Structure 1
Amino acid sequence: MIPAPGGPDEGWSRLSPRKLLLDPVKAVGQAIVPVVVALVGISQNPRFWPIILPIAIVAPLLFGILPWLTTHFRLTETQIQVRSGILNKNTSTAPLDRVRSVDLEASLLHRVLGVQKVQIGTGVDDDRITLDALAAADAQALRTTLLRRRTAPDPIADVTAGAALDEHQEPTGPAPPAPEPAPVLLARIDWSWLRFAPFSLGRLVILAGAVGVFSQFGDNLPIWNEETATSTWNWLTQFAVIAIVVVLLVVGLGVWLVVSVGGYVVQWWNFLLVREHGSLHLTSGLFTRRSITVEEAKVRGVVLTEPVLMRVVGGAELATLATGVEDGVTRVLPPCPRDVAVGVGETVVEHRGPLTDALVEHGPRARRRAWIRQVLNALDVLVVAAIAWWFLDFSWWWLVGLAAVLLVLAAAAGEASYRHLGHRLSGDHLVAGSGVLARIRTVLETDGIIGWVITQSWWQRRIGLADLTATTAAGAERVLVRDVRLDVAVALADDATPGLLGDFLAETA
C-alpha cells in the first residue's frame, strides 16, 4: 500500500517484499559474464573453488537484498520523500506541485512478480525519483495520487473566491471539487500498421549488433579455413550467379521482415495514447511494459517525421517537444498512417494546419546551396575513393563509375533537401521544414521561444541568406530555419515574438 500523508516521523513505507526476489535475479544477470570469466580463469586451479563459489553466489544475493532493507518512502501533505543508502545516506524529495511526470515500467521479470518501477519527474532532466519496485496496484495508485494532487485546487483559494461572491455570506468551506474529465483516447494500436514496420530502418541497429557479435566468434568457426572456403566457392559457382544473388536477396529480405515486424510487435504491443490529468499518457510493450506520462503544460510542440521509404507507403512518425523530460523528445506514435500522425499532432498542439499547410519556399539561391552542399559531400567520398585507387591500383573505370553514381545521388539528395525546406508562422506556432532523405516538419509554440540566433557564413552573406535559429528549452533546444533571406528571417522572428527583436531592429533601421 502507498503511504498515507503523515507528520515528520510518520508514514514511512518499504518497497514491495517481492523486491527481495527481483534484485538478486537482476544482480546475478548483471554479474554472470564476469563470474563466468573468473570461473574459466581459475578452472585450472581447483583450490580456489571453495573461495570463489560462495562469493559468486552470496555477493549477488547480498547486493540484491540491501536496496530493499535500506529504501523507504512516504507522502506528506506537500512532498514525496525517499530515503536510501547504508553508509552514504541519501534523501530525495519532490514537492507535489512540481511533479511533472510519473512513468511506470515493468520488465518481464517485474510482470511475473507483479511489481512495477515508478519514475517521478519534476521538470528537470536529471531530477527523477525512482521506486523499484512497488506492487502493480500500489504503483498505479501512487501515479494517480501524484497526478491528481499535482493539479489539486487550493482549498484556501476556493474559500476566498466563494466569500468574494457575497461579502455578507459566511464561507462554509471549500467549494466541492469539479468532477474529473474522463480520459480522452487519442490513438491505439491498429495491427494493420504492421505494414509500415519493414519501411522503418531503425531496427537495422539490431542486425548491426548481431553482425558485431558474430564477428567476435566467426574466426573460430570451421567455415573460415581455406579448404572449406574453396570447396564452398566451387559448389556455389556451379549455379548461375544471378540465382545466387536472388537467393541471398530473398533470404536477407526474409530476415529483415522477421526482425522489423517482430521488433514492432515487441515495442508497440497494446499501444494506447490517452489524455488524462492534464497529461499525455502512453502505454506499450510486450515483454517490458512501459507507461510514460508527459505533462501537456510542458509540451511546446511536435515533430512529424516521414522517412524516405515510409513516405512511399504513406507512413509517418510523431514525437512531442517538451521541457523536463529525458532528451526533450518523446515518441508518442509508432510508424502509422500519415493521417493518423497529423490528427494526433494537431490535437496535441490544439491547432489545425501546422502539419499540413504549405510552407514558404526559400527560393533559387537556397536550392543552389542545397545542391552544392550535397555535391561537396559526394566529393569527399570520391576523394577517399581516389586515394584508395592510387594505393590499391584497381581499374580507374571503377572510380569513374563511382563518381557518376555519387553525382546523381548528390543531385537527387540536394533537390530533396530543398523541397523539404521551408517555414511558416501558423497562428502562435513556428513551423520549420527540414531533412534530406527524411521529410521533417517541426512545430514549436512561439511562447516556448526564448531567443533567436541569426548566423551567416561568408557564402551566405554574399547571396543574402542566413540561418535563423529559435532557441527553446524543449526538445533539442533549437529549431533551425535554414537558408532563408535575411530580411525574411528578421521579419519572421519579429512576427513570432513581437518586441523581442526591438533593439536589434532599431540598430539595423
Structure 2
Amino acid sequence: MSDRPTEPEGTAAEDLAVQDHAVEDPAAAEPETPWRRLHRDGLKSTALYMAGVMVGAGTPAAIALASGTSWPIALAWVLPGAALVIGAVVAFEAVRLRTTRYRVTATRVEMHTGLFFKRRRSLARERIRSVDLAANPLERVFGLTKVKVGTGETGSGSGSTTEQTLTLDSVHRTEADRLRQELLRRGAVASEVDTEGRLATWEPGWLKYAPLSFLTPMLAGIAVGAVFQVADWFGRGGLPVEITADLVEAHGPWTVLGVGLAALLLLGAIASLVLQGEAWWNHRLDREPGGTLRVRRGLMIARSLSLEEERIRGIEIVEPLGVRTAGAGRLDVVAIGLKTDQEGSDLSTLVPAAPLDKTLAAAEAVIGPLETGLAPHPRTALHRRLRWAGATILIAAGLATGAHLLWSMPALLSAAVVLAAVSTSAFAVWTAFDSYASLGHASGPRYLVSRRGSTRRATVHLDRSGIIGWRIQQSVFQRRMGLMTLDATTAAGKGHYAVIDADEHEILDFADDTVPDLLRPFLIREPVGDSAE
C-alpha cells in the first residue's frame, strides 16, 4: 500500500465558485491583495492570428468567385467580409482584456471578467494540483503564455458537468512562470527532501518511431482528400481521377498502384515526422522540489505541464503495433483530473515513443520498481479470440465474393478486393494469437498490473490505494468458457482499468487480495469441511 498521504477524491462543487453577482462579504474579498490585468499585447497576437485565418479561409472563396466573375469583383466581396470579422474579434478581445482581472491570495485564486454580465471564478489554493502553460508561435513572439490552473476535480452546475479550472489567456511569460511556482509552492514547503532531477530527455533519434504509428496512413488519406478539395476549388473535381486513369493506361495498373501507395506512405511518414517533431522537440521530464513533475516540450507551440505527484495513481506503458515492432513504447500517467478518454490525446503523456528501456527507466523513476512477473490467462481466452478471427474471415470472404457477383470490376479493382480480404483474414488470425500472448495481470506490493491489447498493447500499473471499486462483467460466451472481466474503478485517468478474459474463480480471489475487504462481503466460499466431504 502507498505510504504517502491521501486526500478525498470526490467531487467538491464548493471548491469552484462561479457567480454572476458581486462578492457580498468584504472580508472574503481580501482587498489588500492587488488585482492584476492580462497583458495588452494579447490584442496584437489576436489581430495577427485572425488575419492569418481570414487569408486561409478567404483565398479558396476568392478563387471560387473569380472563376465565375473576375478577381476585382471577387476581392470586393471577400475583403470587406474578412475585415469585418477581424474587427469584431479584435473588439471582443479588447473588451475581454480590459475587463479581466485576477489575483492570488493566501487561500484562493480569483478571476473577474465580463462587461455586461460579470463572471467571477475562484479556486481554493489547497485544491490546486496542476498548472499548464502553453504558447503558440504568435504568443511566443510577444512573450505571452496561456495559464490553465486545475484542481483535478469536476463539479456540476446548471445540470451539466463543469471542469474545475481557471484559465488566464495572455499572461506575460515571466508572470506565468511566477504563478506556476507560487501556486505549487504549497507542496514544496511541505516537503523536507529535495528530489529535484531530470527523469527523461528527448532525443532527435526518437523521431524514427513517428512513421510507425497509425497516424501515417491517416495523414496519407487526408492528403488524398486535400487534392480533391483543391481541384474542386478550381472547378475540376474530377481531374485527379482523369490523371490516374491516364497513368494506368500508360504504365499499367499494378505499377500505378504500387507507386501510388509508396508515394502516399512516404508523404504520410514525412507529415508524421513534422507533427511529432513539432509536438515533442526539446521534451524534458523533471521532478521539481516538493514532489512535482513537470513536462516541457514543443518547437512552435511551447507547452509546459506541472503535475503534483499526490495526484498520480499509476502509469501506463503504451506500445502501438508499429512502435512495438521497433522495440519502443510511450509512457502515460494515470492521474486525477487529466482527461484520457480519447486515445491519441497527448495530455497525459510523460514520455513520447522512445526505446523501451528508456521508457521503463522513466516509469520506475516516477512510481518506483515495476512488477514484471505477470500471470497468464486460460487457453480458453485464446479460443475466444480465434472464434472472432473465424467470424472476420467469413465476413471478409463473403464481402469479396458478393462484390464480384454483383458488379463487373476491372482487373485492378478485383485484385485489390481479393488482396484486402486475404490481408484482413491473415491479420485477424495473427491478432488473435498476439492479443492472447499479451494478456497478463499481477498484484505487487503497491500496484495492480494489467496488460492487454495487440494493435495497441497497454500495461497499466494502478496504485492499489487508488482503487475505489470493482466492476465485474461476464457475457454469455465468457460464462460458457469460464472467463470473466474485472474492472478496477478509480478517480484517475480513464476511470476504470480492466483485466479481461481471466479465470472466473481466480480473478475474484485476485481482486480480494489486491484491495482487502472491498469485495469480500460479496464472495461466497465453501467451507473447508464441506469440500473434504
State which of 99, 106, 119 in structure 2 corresponds to 1:77.
106
SS in 2 for 1:218: helix
Give secondary structure in 2 for the equivalent of 1:326: coil
**Which residue of structure 2 lines up, in the alignment, with residue 23 of structure 1?**
46
Whether 1:439 and 2:451 are equivalent positions in the alignment is no
Per-residue CA deviations over 1:364-390 (Å, capped at 9, x if unaligned) read 111111211232234334444344334
The answer to whether structure 1 residue 373 and structure 2 residue 388 are counterparts is yes
Please tell me the residue identity of whatever aligns with 1:333. Answer: V
**Structure 2 residue aligned with 1:188, among 194, 197, 201?**
201
1:388 aligns with 2:411: no
* Aligned residue identity for 1:132: D
State the Cα distance separating 1:123 from its structure 2 match. 1.3
Give the length in aligned residue pairs.
475
Counterpart among 362, 370, 381 of residue 353 in structure 1:
370
Asked whether the 8 Å contact 2:337–2:493 carries over to 1, the reply is no
Aligned: 1:278 with 2:291: yes
2:437 is matched with which residue: 419, 423, 436?
419
Alpha-carbon deviations, 1:381-401, whole Å to 9, x = none? 444434433422569999887
Distance 1:499 1:459 in 2: 29
1:333 Cα shift? 0.8
Q: Which residue of 2 aligns with 1:95?
A: 124
Residues 410 and 49 from structure 1, CA distance in 2 versus in 1: closer, same or farther, beyond 3 angstroms?
A: closer
- Give the number of the structure with larger relative contact order, counting CA–CA contacts within 8 Å between residues 6 or more apart: 2
Secondary structure of the corresponding residue to residue 452 of structure 1: strand
Partner of 1:323: 336
Match of 1:266 among 253, 278, 289: 278
Deviation at 1:226, TM superposition (A): 8.5
Given that residues 200 and 310 in structure 1 are in contact (C-alpha distance below 8 angstroms), is that contact kept between their aligned partners in structure 2? yes
| Structure 1 unaligned spans of 5+ | 154-177
Q: Is the contact between residue 217 and residue 265 of structure 2 (CA under 8 Å) also seen in structure 1? A: no
Change (3 A) 1:139 1:389: same
Give unpaired runs (5+ residues) of structure 2: 1-27, 155-162, 342-346, 528-533
**Partner residue of 1:62 out of 91, 98, 113:** 91
User: What letter is aligned with 1:87?
Assistant: F
Contact residue 333 and residue 341 of structure 1 kept, 8 A: yes
Residue number in structure 1 paired with 2:25: none
* Equivalent residues of 2:339, 2:493 under 8 A apart: no
Q: Give secondary structure in 1 for the equivalent of 2:31.
A: coil
Structure 1 residues 283-292 or 410-419, which shifts more?
410-419
Stretch moving more, 31-40 or 261-270: 31-40
Deviation at 1:347, TM superposition (A): 1.9
Counterpart Cα distance in 1 of 2:204 and 2:127: 38
Q: 1:7 Cα deviation (Å)? A: 2.7
Question: How far 1:218 moved relative to its partner?
Answer: 3.0
Compute the displacement of 1:182 (Å).
Answer: 5.6
> What are the Cα deviations for residues 74-126 of structure 1, in whole angstroms up to 9, with x where unaligned?
11111110011112211111111111000110110011001111010111251
Change (3 A) 1:404 1:197: closer
Structure 2 residue identity aligned to 1:15: L
What is the rounded CA distance, in whole Å, between the counterparts of 2:267 and 2:153 in structure 1? 41
Aligned to 1:236: 251
| CA distance in 2: counterparts of 1:121 and 1:37, whole angstroms | 40
Instruction: Name the counterpart of 2:350.
Output: 332
More displaced 10-residue stretch of structure 1: 379-388 or 242-251: 242-251
Alpha-carbon distance in 2 for matches of 1:56, 1:494: 61
Q: Which residue of 2 aligns with 1:161?
A: none
> In the TM superposition, what is the alpha-carbon distance from 1:485 to its structure 2 partner?
1.1
Contact residue 124 and residue 325 of structure 1 kept, 8 A? no
* 23-32 or 281-290, which deviates more: 23-32
Which position in structure 2 is the counterpart of 1:287? 300
Q: For 1:144, give the aligned amino acid.
A: Q
User: Taking every aligned residue pair, what percent have the same amino acid on both sides?
Assistant: 29
Q: 3-state SS of the aligned residue for 1:316?
A: strand
Corresponding residue of 1:135: 172
The residue identity in structure 2 corresponding to 1:353 is: L
Matched, 1:122 2:137: no
Equivalent runs, 1:303-322 vs 2, <5 Å: 303-322=316-335
Q: Give the TM-score of the pair, scaled to structure 1.
A: 0.83
TM superposition shift of 1:233: 3.9
Decide whether the 8 Å contact of 1:366 with 1:418 is kept in 2. Answer: yes
Q: Distance in 2 between matches of 1:56 and 1:45?
A: 17
| SS of aligned partner of 1:122 | strand
Deviation for aligned residue 1:179: 6.7
Between the aligned partners of 2:76 and 2:94, the Cα distance in structure 1 is: 29
- Amino acid in structure 2 at the alignment position of 1:18: D
Q: 2:400·2:418 contact (CA, 8 Å) conserved in 1? A: no
CA distance in 2, matches of 1:257, 1:45: 37
Taking the aligned partners of 2:479 and 2:513, their CA distance within structure 1 comes to 23
Q: Which moved more, 1:365-374 or 1:401-410?
A: 401-410
Residue 160 of structure 1: aligned partner:
none
More displaced stretch, 373-382 vs 431-440: 373-382
SS class of match (1:82): strand
Question: In the alignment, residue 228 of structure 2 is paired with which amino acid?
Answer: S
**Cα distance change of structure 1 residues 298 and 45 upon mapping to structure 2, 3 Å threshold:** closer
- Call closer, same or farther: CA 1:147–1:498 in 2, change over 3 Å: same
Distance in structure 2 (CA, Å) of the matches to 1:469 and 1:486 = 13
Q: Contact 1:450/1:472 (CA < 8 Å) preserved in 2? A: yes
- Residue 375 of structure 2 aligns with an amino acid whose one-letter code is V
The alpha-carbon distance between structure 1 residues 53 and 296, as it changes in their structure 2 partners (threshold 3 A), is closer
